[in-house]
Amino acid sequence: MSVEVTNTAAQERTAKDTTDTNRWTTARSNSKRTGAINADGPTPFATTSWKMDLDGSMFSKEPVVANGLVYLPVTTDNTSSESEGYIGAYNIETGDQVWKESDLPSPKTPTISDEMLYFATNISETDEDNRGGLYALDIENGETRWSRTNFLKWTSPIVTVDRIYTSNKEGAYALNSRTGETIWKTDGVGMLSDGSDGALSYHDGTIFFSDGTALNANDGSVKWRITDQETTFNNHVIDNGLVYYIRREFIEGDDDIVTVEARAADSGRVEWSYSPETGQVVDRRFAVANGHVLLYDSNEDSVLTALDAETGARIWRKELAGEFFSNITVANETIYIGGRYMLPSKPGIGRAAVYALDLTTGDREWTYLLDPANLVTNPEGPPAAGTPVVAADKIYTSTYPAGSLLDHQYIQYSNFFVLESSTTRPDADMRI
């Protein structure tokens, strides 16, 4: 494996990333995909502010929050031949619906700017003749401003002042954020290699892709490329001059080799690597915040590990009481994780839960059990909470029927919760 560096005389754009530290405006909070935000969650305890049935599913998606509204990307049909969904905007204090655009394919996690909301769509792997594409909606009323449907599959975009960056099976693109017109295209880069939200990231004039390529955001020229055809670089995160990858090397006839790598963002040079105990780490996003790289590191999916962001050395390792744990979120010095807690005193009975842990030590600060009263839930088993999004002193999370193998149950039995601060410790029914 080697790194190919290409020099370019083109001057890089100086466009400022429009994500705000007090808003959650794209998948994993910001264009660096850190999963971190410089804001507080509910403190010192949490309580339910409002909740609702989704009439669809937000499994593997995140809400986005800005301007006093939370925007929800919901799938209402994900059969082999259909892709349907909606995006709704709701007041974060009351839950009142401000607008809802239903005539859409199933949306991925959106990215928002001051004027528009951008999203790619999920489509069936077996039938690509259904609806899909890349869309821009008016943030005030949900009306479609433009769409690109010449390709059905696009990666979830990144937005700067006047451009959005994305990719499809042909290559990487910079588009005019107001019109959707192509500004530049680089063939053969970023071709949906990991299939997940956040397959590209952006920082300081450079776009990073899961095929190990870094492009100049100004003109699409290659800055560096990792020349290893049998490897993907999933779930990358950028922080303090380093880009962190989950490196997956495909070995014919054997198990894949999975490594966490930290590379210099300006050159692609490897600074350190870490071998996790499980290859399942590739399936979930990790987080980087305040000198910590946070990831799951166990075949049991219940062990959270913190690495030193500069050296890769292990700082702490904690086993969590629960299962079906979500992607990791960090708000200032607190880690938030969604999941499911099974009650030891009642075999087979459990609740969706949000966990709050101390970033420095990994010690649990509190766990809040979500109350499904008056909501439609799966009678066959308890739900789990998805990734907790933190903004405006609140937590926003959806639930799903954990462990179900039936697609229609994800559509039928998913709910949405908003948690706010409380000075009162939750009663015994709401905590562990």
- Give the span between the Cα atoms of 396 and 394, in whole angstroms: 7
Sequence-distant contacts of 314-323: CB under 8 A, at least 24 apart: 316/361, 316/362, 317/362, 318/357, 318/362, 318/363, 320/355, 321/432, 322/353, 322/355, 323/384, 323/402
Grade residue 323 by pLDDT with cuts at 50, 70 and 90.
Answer: very high
CATH label of the domain that carries residue 405 = 2.130.10.10
Beta-sheet pairing, 415-422 with 45-53: antiparallel
What are 134's strand-pairing partners? 120, 148
Of 27-31, 89-93, 128-132, 168-172, the one with minimum mean pLDDT is: 128-132
Contact present, 207 and 215 (Cβ < 8 Å): yes
| Number of structural domains the chain divides into | 1
Tell whether omega for the bond before 73 is within 30 degrees of 0, i.e. cis.
Answer: no
Report, in this order, helix, strand and coil percent for the chain, each rounded to 5: 5, 45, 50
Can you tell me the mean pLDDT for 138-163? 93
Grade residue 283 by pLDDT with cuts at 50, 70 and 90.
Answer: low
Contact present, 176 and 32 (Cβ < 8 Å): no
Sequence-distant contacts of 15-22: CB under 8 A, at least 24 apart: 15/160, 15/161, 15/162, 15/163, 15/217, 16/160, 16/161, 17/160, 17/202, 17/203, 18/113, 18/114, 18/159, 18/160, 18/161, 20/66, 22/391, 22/392
- What's the predicted TM-score (pTM) here? 0.92
Q: Name residue, tokens 């339910």.
A: 48
In the chain, count H helices and then E strands.
1, 35
Can you tell me the mean pLDDT for 141-146? 96
- Give the span between the Cα atoms of 386 and 399, in whole angstroms: 6
Grade residue 128 by pLDDT with cuts at 50, 70 and 90.
Answer: low
pLDDT above 70 for 280: no
Of 125-139, 291-305, 347-361, 411-425, the one with minimum mean pLDDT is: 125-139
Provide the 3-class DSSP secondary structure of residue 267: coil
Question: What's the full length of the chain, in residues?
Answer: 432
The H-or-E segment that residue 412 falls in is helix 407-412
Mean pLDDT computed over every residue of the chain: 88
- Give the span between the Cα atoms of 58 and 60, in whole angstroms: 6
Of 24-28, 35-39, 273-277, the one with minimum mean pLDDT is: 273-277
What pLDDT is stored for residue 11 in this prediction? 38
Can you tell me the mean pLDDT for 49-76? 96
Distances from the Cα of 161 to the Cαs of 83, 156, 176, 206, in angstroms? 31, 17, 10, 14
Containing structural domain, residue 183 = 3-7+16-430
Of 65-69, 230-234, 239-243, the one with minimum mean pLDDT is: 230-234
Higher pLDDT: 365 or 277? It is 365
Can you tell me the mean pLDDT for 227-237? 81
